[in-house]
């Protein structure tokens, strides 16, 4: 599914750890922010911190979606987060089944790790009720946030699903990526950060959003 007419490109900035960064990002016009609940990530946040970030996003821009990211979490852990943190979407970036993903009663994104043997049609069929599929870079050691792009020639030429491009995006290449692939949306973390993972560079965030939507 690609954008039609004047519909604005969906832009998610992921992996927040500071309230000031959340506020600046949503006020800059991000469609969504991502909060990382994967303990193996440098951008992991506790439930109490995540709730503060969620509330800050809602206060600054109520229309901005708050996405909770999980990687092969136990159902009880996801439920515990949902009992504490206000989230609009769930993102599953591990090996979760469609049954698991839909069991929490929230719209969800399913990450697909792209490599030559990936059959995107299988994911479209299995996760037919997903809000969108997020196509990211395959890495045997990392669940995401690699900062590397996958081979864009693997991008499906046609899809009935919303497709979100992730992996290695930054202000310097997002315009060409959008022009080439026409995704429904884009997702970035490290590409708008400085030296410290999780801390966003507000100037890079603004430039990323500008380049993604207007080239």
> Mind telling me the catalytic residues?
14, 136
Q: Which secondary-structure segment (H or E) carries 26?
A: helix 19-27
**Alpha carbons within 13 A on the beta-carbon side of 213:** 17
Q: What is the DSSP string of 89-124?
A: EEEE-SS--HHHHHTTSS-EEEEEEE-TT--HHHHH
Beta bridge partners of 200: 193
Q: Please report which residue ranges of 44-104 form alpha helices under DSSP H.
A: 47-60, 75-84, 98-102
157 vs 129: CA distance, rounded Å: 20
Tell me the angle at which helices 202-214 and 174-181 cross, rounded to the nearest 10 degrees: 30
Can you tell me the distance from the alpha carbon of 203 to that of 169, in angstroms, rounded to the nearest whole number?
Answer: 15
Task: Give the CA diameter of the chain.
Answer: 43
Instruction: At 38, list the tokens.
Output: 């994967």
């Amino acid at each position: 599914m690609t954008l039609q007419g004047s519909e604005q490109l969906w832009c998610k900035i992921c992996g927040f750890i500071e309230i000031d960064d959340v506020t600046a990002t949503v006020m800059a016009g991000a469609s969504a922010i991502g909060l990382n609940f994967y303990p193996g990530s440098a951008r992991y946040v506790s439930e109490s911190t995540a709730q503060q970030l969620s509330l800050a996003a809602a206060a600054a821009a109520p229309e901005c979606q708050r996405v909770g990211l999980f990687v092969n979490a136990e159902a009880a852990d996801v439920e515990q987060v949902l009992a504490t943190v206000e989230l609009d979407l769930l993102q599953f970036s591990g090996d979760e089944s469609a049954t698991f993903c839909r069991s929490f009663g929230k719209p969800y994104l399913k990450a697909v790790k792209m490599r030559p043997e990936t059959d995107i049609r299988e994911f479209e069929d299995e996760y037919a009720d997903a809000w969108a599929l997020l196509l990211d870079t395959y890495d045997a050691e990392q669940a995401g946030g690699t900062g590397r792009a996958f081979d864009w020639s693997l991008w499906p030429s046609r899809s009935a699903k919303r497709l979100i491009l992730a992996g290695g995006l930054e202000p310097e290449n997002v315009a060409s990526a959008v022009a080439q692939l026409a995704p429904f949306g884009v997702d970035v973390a490290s590409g708008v950060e400085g030296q410290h993972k999780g801390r966003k560079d507000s100037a890079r965030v603004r430039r990323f959003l500008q380049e993604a939507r207007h080239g």
